[in-house]
Amino acid sequence: MLTLKEHKYASRCALKVIDFALTSNGANCERFVDIRGLKTLMPLLGSAPAPPPAFVKGKVSPNPNPNPHPHPDPNPNPNPDPNPNPKAEREAMQLQHDEHLASLLVTLLQQLTVRVRVRVRVRVRVS
């Protein structure tokens, strides 16, 4: 939950882990609501996922010459672009983010008892 609150790059992985942990386990769903997981989850509904750090974007290159051998590369590519379409990648990240959030909410509504399910519905309506 703390990783999600910090909204760092690792929060994407934390969201996937929580999604997996709640799937088909009513006790985990009850615990998630009891520790006020909805308070952390609801602000994420309309937000963009955390951006990747610079080293993931390809801006930092620890070794500018990946081929240490003196002979030339048989398939030279002078300017390899690790991210040919950044807009498409951002849209794909947003789609995955939204899918995991939707999956979490569906799982909560399916697995929770009626009393807790009412609390979730009220919280979703208020947000």
Q: Where are the domains of the chain?
A: 1-54+98-127
pTM, entire model = 0.65
What is the per-residue pLDDT across 1-60, written as a single tens digit (0 to 9) for each? 777 777 777 788 888 888 888 888 888 988 988 888 888 888 888 788 877 777 765 544
How far is Cα 60 from Cα 111, in angstroms, rounded to an integer? 44
CB atoms within 10 A of CB 11: 19
List the structure tokens of 3.
């990783």
List the structure tokens of 94.
């947003």
